[in-house]
Amino acid sequence: MKRALLLFGLAFVACSSPDPDARVDPGVGASGVDFYPVSLVIVDKCGSIDCHGSKYRNMRLYGYGSSRFNPAHRPAFPETTQAEADQNYESVAAVEPNLFRQVIAEGGINPQRLTFIRKGRGTEDHKGGTTILPGDDADLCIQSWLQSKVDTARCQAAVPRLNEKK
């Protein structure tokens, strides 16, 4: 009997869906701010094939130099697409959806509450080590997004290959 109840409970949990109020529109960041420039930074810092570009990671990233959402695309062509940025947004938001919404609602105050910030900064155990330094261009780009005012110049400065095109 206990086993049947346990199986029923597991089936119920497995079939339940996330809180629809916890979802955030893909492709649009905090308060309607475009996520695309931030996606470029996150993929550049965290999306290598042996990290979050792997299909075996729970937070998967897609784009230039990483796994591609469209299998017809090559790792280095084309540039990260909007569809990939949308997937990346969903991936980042899905790590802690309720806390993510709270940080955004509070204007990005104390972003280190978010796991993806702590892991990127290396303040929480992270197989990839420290990929973003507090106060560097990547960090300021992500923080500006959480504050609903993306600093596109910081985002571009954080991705070296974008600066080579100038």
Structural contact between residues 159 and 49, judged by C-beta atoms closer than 8 angstroms: no
State mean pLDDT over 67-89: 95
Of the candidates 29, 137, 35, 40, which has an alpha carbon nearest to the alpha carbon of residue 79? 40
Peptide linkage before 26 cis (omega within 30 of 0): no
pLDDT band for position 82 (cuts 50, 70, 90): very high
For residue 165, what pLDDT is reported?
60
> 2: pLDDT confidence band, cut at 50, 70 and 90?
low
Q: What is the DSSP string of 22-38?
A: G---TTB-GGG-B-HHH
Of 26-40, 44-58, 96-110, 113-127, the least confident:
26-40
CA angle 28/132/117 to nearest 5° reads: 55
Kindly report, residue by residue over 139-157, the tens digit of the pLDDT. 999 999 999 999 999 999 9
DSSP H helical ranges for 55-166 = 82-95, 97-105, 115-121, 137-146, 152-157, 160-164
Contact 110, 116 (CB under 8 A): no
Q: Mean pLDDT across the chain, nearest whole number? A: 85
Residue 57 has pLDDT above 90, yes or no: no
Contact 151, 141 (CB under 8 A): yes
